[in-house]
Amino acid sequence: MHTAALQPRRDMTQPDLPQARRQLIAERLSAGQSVVAADLATEFKLSEDAIRRDLRALAADGLCRRVYGGAVPVQDSDRPLAARLREAPGRKSALARAGAATVRPDELVFIDTGSTNLALVEFLPEDAGLTIATNAVDVAAAVLRRQDLRLLMLGGEVDRHLGGCVDAAAVDALSRMRIDRCFVGVCSLSVADGVMTTQFSEAAFKRTLIQNSRQVVALLTSDKARASAPHHIADFAMLRTAVIEQDLDAGVVRGLREAAVDVIAVETAA
């Protein structure tokens, strides 16, 4: 008799494999449900430590936000940078290429945190005497790989969710700068609310960035007009240029143009 025949069959109604269990938890979160670690531990007959490991893994993938005792769903605009870097690279590159074309020689250019802004570095004009300032770790690393760009890195505590610094030290350093052109990260925008972001401290940083920049540019994927965020950064009129996908909400586009924003519409690929 083969030994394998004596092995008990796995009950697939009890997802004791980590990947299957995490998939079930992720499906509940994507349906808008919050989850409690203690309840999940009872349901799956596991320790709370094992469930907390699952929730940490799901949070790292941008599928939830950890809270005391469990996790809650996240909006698309509030997912960590690491989860957004892999998404829609063609669309982001098209916007970045058009945004980089607005840069002029010898400018001090500030590149804010964000996956679309990160794509800018590749398309910045070569040997143009540019100085790139940033609060974003990934942007700084990309700039360092270009021998023709000078780098200024703002200090402070790195927010792992954002991939950069937005604390008081970063705001203080930013307030002493006079920037020729900034590329500000945006989480959502609407005619009623203007330009918004998800974190309170991040909003204060971005407001300072806009106030200290002569030209303010935003690279806007179409999903920004469908997202929502609680903290106001700026009215449309404070933007100088908006580089948008052609299918951005028509009402938002009209609002940008009525606010005298230079709108550059780009055909993007998924």
Task: Give residue 123's pLDDT.
Answer: 97
Q: Is residue 155 a contact partner of residue 173, using CB atoms and an 8 Å limit? A: yes
Q: Is residue 234 a contact partner of residue 255, using CB atoms and an 8 Å limit? A: no
Task: Give residue 76's pLDDT.
Answer: 56
Average pLDDT over residues 43-55: 91
Higher local confidence (pLDDT), 3 or 75? 75
Q: Among 75-84, 156-165, 176-185, 257-266, whose mean pLDDT is lowest? A: 75-84
Task: Give residue 4's pLDDT.
Answer: 38
Q: Give all strands (DSSP E) within the chain, no chain letters.
A: 35-36, 65-67, 70-72, 108-111, 131-134, 150-153, 158-159, 164-165, 179-183, 188-190, 194-197, 213-220, 231-234, 241-245, 262-266
Distance CA 63, CA 72 (A): 9
Higher local confidence (pLDDT), 167 or 229? 167
Q: Among 4-8, 126-130, 192-196, whose mean pLDDT is lowest? A: 4-8
Task: Give residue 7's pLDDT.
Answer: 38
pLDDT exceeds 90 at position 227: no
CB atoms < 10 A from the CB of 16, how many?
A: 13
Average pLDDT score, the chain: 87
Task: Give residue 84's pLDDT.
Answer: 53
pLDDT exceeds 60 at position 14: no
Which SS3 state, helix, strand or coil, does residue 265 take? Answer: strand
Q: Is residue 207 a contact partner of residue 160, using CB atoms and an 8 Å limit? A: no
Tokens of 267: 């055909």
Average pLDDT over residues 147-163: 92
Task: Give residue 72's pLDDT.
Answer: 80
- The pLDDT tens digits of the residues spanning 101-116 come to 999 999 999 999 988 9
Q: CB neighbours of 25 closer than 8 A, spacing ≥ 6?
A: 35, 40, 54, 55, 58
pLDDT exceeds 80 at position 258: yes
Q: Among 10-24, 102-116, 182-196, 216-230, whose mean pLDDT is lowest? A: 10-24
Tokens of 61: 């993938």
| Percentage of residues in the chain having pLDDT higher than 90 | 65
Task: Give residue 90's pLDDT.
Answer: 80
pLDDT exceeds 60 at position 44: yes
pLDDT exceeds 80 at position 11: no
pLDDT-derived band at 67, boundaries 50, 70, 90: confident
Q: Is residue 191 a contact partner of residue 255, using CB atoms and an 8 Å limit? A: yes
- What are the Cα distances from residue 207, in Å, to 33, 48, 53, 212? 33, 41, 36, 9
Distance CA 207, CA 248 (A): 24
Which SS3 state, helix, strand or coil, does residue 255 take? Answer: helix
Average pLDDT over residues 122-136: 97
